[in-house]
Structure formats: structure tokens, C-alpha cells
Amino acid sequence: MPATDYQGSSPSSLSHFGRSFLNIHRDHQVHSMEGSSLEVELESFQQHVTDQFLELSSVSHEELVSLSWVGKLLDSFLCCQEEFRAILHTHKVLVLRPPSDRMVSQYFERSVKALDVCNAIRDGIEQIRQWQKLLEIVRCAMGGNQRSIGEGQFRRAKKALIDLAIGMLDDKDSSNASINAHRNRSFGRNTGGGRDHHHNNNLHNRSLGHFRSLSWSVSRTWSAARQLQAIGNNMHPPKANELVASGGLAMPVFIMNSVLLFVMWCLVAAIPCQDRGLQVHFNIPRNFLWAAPMLSLHDRIMEESKKRDRKNACGLLREIHQIEKCARVMNELADSVQFPLTEEKEADVRHRAQEVAQLCDALKDGLDPLERQVREVFHRIVRSRTEGLDSLGKQNLAD
């Protein structure tokens, strides 16, 4: 993500941008109690955003882009969103004056575009659930409580592993609607892991329809890459004259725009969705205190995406990588066994099945809370936008 140099003021003033904007404002207007209050709130807001991203960036390589980390990311977004909403509510007089009204309205329009990302991410979470169910079949076939493991159990596990491999295929040209439709047909809610994908297309079509009717699903022609570009379009740091004209509100609006874009980008990077694209331009100066940990996280996630074994992944979520590795190991194991199994080989199989069980449990424990958080982000954005537009609409009627 190229970091841009801010052109609106000198580099020295930029490093203290958050503190100085109201000083600029007071050079042009009479000092008011509201201005003093906003200055305190803005400094607090910037510090809280900085603290949130410092904590997110402090994690180890193993925890980055894991289910738990994505959950913390969404918690951070909700905290930032709530504090931003409080600032707008407290300073309604400034919000309703131009150019602040335009800036706030533009933020709400960006947030609407983020709703589609939430929809797509929930579908992606459902896909991962289907992979988990296929792993559960492998877990039961190769482990479980049966006294011995025979060819029948291996055939069942092998079939589930084949279905899993088909489901996780992510064609480089993922923007092709027919390819996406073919891939998604493997993930209807009623699709069992033991069914044959090659002769049950009609069943899969019905299952996909059922799945889509129960989810928020986006259009099959929808593109995550284009949606991220639309969210970030015309986003730039406020200039000094914009800060003065907005009474200082331009800064928290820009911060929240940046947080919104970054969080949506992380979700698209982590979770399977249509036409994933990570080449998004973030017009964020590194001089901002809160920007440094955010841009550091971006750099680390981009480095992860460029690794040879992650380049063609359908998502960078740590647990997806574990599914791929686990499936590969179990496939190799299934291909290498001879029957009847020796005691040593059977012990190895049961040990590997236990590793599958641990991964299944981690997915089961992590996916439901993540989906609830995505729902909460969705509803919080809707509520905040409705409240904001109601205020702006009432003012327009009064005018």
C-alpha cells in the first residue's frame, strides 16, 4: 500500500496535525467552548484508534489473520465507530454546516458499500463451515470410537477429502461468474460431504438456492476488489482550509473513513469471497500517529499473501491454511496405507485424526462468534447511517 506524503501542510505541522487543527481554527474564529470540547474529543479519539491498532499489530506471526485476530479487528472497528458516532452526535451544529455535512454524508455512503462486503464475508464464513463439516467426516472415519479402521472408513474419508479439495479450489480468474457459480455450488446448506459432485448438479443447484435464501448473499457478478476501490475512491487527508471550514470535523471523518476501508480490506483478505483483490490504494500519510500501526499491519498481510503457498489461496485466514495443510497430510496418509493396517500405522492414523479433531473444534468455536460480529458491524453501520441521515434530512427540511 503506497503511503502518500501529505501536501496540505508542511511535514513538521503534519506530525502534530491532530493537535494543531483547532489552533488553526482559532486563528480564524473566536474561541468557543464547543471548539475546546471537540479538540479534547479528537485527541482522545485519535489516541484510542492508535491504541486499538497498536494492539492489533503487536500479535505474533502465528496469530495474525487468525479467527481470534479478525474478531479483535471487528471489536476495534465497533469501538471506533461508536466513538465517532458520539462525536457526531455531540457536535450536531458543526455536522449540519457545510462542508461538514457533505463530508459526513460521503462517509455514510462509503459505509453503505461496506454492507455488501459484510454480506459477502458472511457467505465466506458459511463456505468455511462446509469445509469444517467435510473435515468432521474425516475425523469420524479415521478416528472416532471404532475398534479398528478398515478400507470402508478410508474410502469415506478419501471422498470427503476430494470434496474438500474441489470446494477450496480458487481459480485465478475468480471474477468469471461461471467459475464462481460452479465453485459456490459445493456449499449449499443441505450438501452432505459424502455426495458425489459429478452426478448431483441438480441437487447442488437446489442447495445453493436454499443457502442463498438463508443468507445475505451478494450478486454473483459482485466483485470484492471493485467494492473496496469504490469505498476508497476520492479518499484523501483533509487540507488545512478544510479543517478550518469544518470546524475540525474533517479529521475524525478522515480517520473513520480510513478505519472503515482498512477493516473491509482485511476481511476480504482473510475470508473467501468473489473476486478477491488486495491491491487497494490507501491514501494515508504515515506521519499520522494512528496510521503507523495500520500501515504496518497492511505490509505484514501483503507479505503473507505473496508467500508461495498462499498466493492462490482462497483466503489468508490462518485456519484456512491449516485446513489445506491438514487435508494434504491426510490425503498422503490415505494414499500410502495398505490393509490390514499395522498397529504402528493405525496409531499414526488415529494421531492424525486427533489433529483434525482439534482443528474442527477450533473452527466450530471461532466461526459462530465471528459471524455474530459481522452481523453486529452490519447493523451498527446501518443504525449509525440512519441516525446521521435523519439529522441531515431534518436540517435540509428546516432550510
Residue 393: per-residue pLDDT: 67
Three-point CA angle 222, 106, 282, nearest 5°:
65
Give the Cα separation of 58 and 204 in Å (integer): 43
Name the nearest CA neighbour of 21 among 255, 314, 365. 255
Cell of 6: 501529505
Q: pLDDT tens across 293-304, in order?
A: 999 999 999 999
Give the Cα separation of 227 and 207 in Å (integer): 27
DSSP 21-49: HHHHHHHHS---HHHHHHHHHHHHHHHHH
Contact 224, 277 (CB under 8 A): yes
Q: pLDDT tens across 34-82, in order?
A: 556 888 999 999 999 999 999 999 999 999 999 999 999 999 999 999 9
Cell of 191: 450438501
Give the Cα separation of 28 and 203 in Å (integer): 69
Tell me how crowded residue 28 is: count the other CB atoms within 10 A of its CB: 9
Q: Is the pLDDT of residue 399 over 80?
A: no
Confidence class for position 339, pLDDT limits 50, 70, 90: confident
Residue 62: per-residue pLDDT: 94
Give the Cα separation of 132 and 152 in Å (integer): 21
In this prediction, residues 4-21 reach a mean pLDDT of 43
Q: Is the pLDDT of residue 198 over 50?
A: no
Give the Cα separation of 13 and 4 in Å (integer): 16
Three-point CA angle 58, 64, 65, nearest 5°:
140
> How many residues in the chain?
399
Residue with cell 437446489: 206
Cell of 192: 452432505
Give the Cα separation of 266 and 296 in Å (integer): 13
Residue 220: per-residue pLDDT: 82
Give the Cα separation of 390 and 399 in Å (integer): 14
Cell of 24: 488553526
In SS3 terms, 101-159 reads as: HHHHHHHHHHHHHHHHHHHHHHHHHHHHHHHHHHHHHHHHHHCCCCCCCCHHHHHHHHH
Q: Which residues contact 43 (CB under 8 A, 6 or more apart)?
A: 18, 19
- Helix (H) / strand (E) element for 167: namely helix 151-168
50 or 146, greater pLDDT: 50
The radius of gyration of the chain's CA atoms, rounded to the nearest angstrom, is 25
Q: pLDDT tens across 162-180, in order?
A: 999 999 985 334 433 333 4
Contact 301, 1 (CB under 8 A): no
Name the nearest CA neighbour of 299 among 276, 265, 345. 265
In this prediction, residues 94-123 reach a mean pLDDT of 95
Give the Cα separation of 251 and 6 in Å (integer): 13
User: DSSP H helical segments within 185-290, as ranges?
Assistant: 201-213, 224-232, 240-245, 250-270
Confidence class for position 394, pLDDT limits 50, 70, 90: low
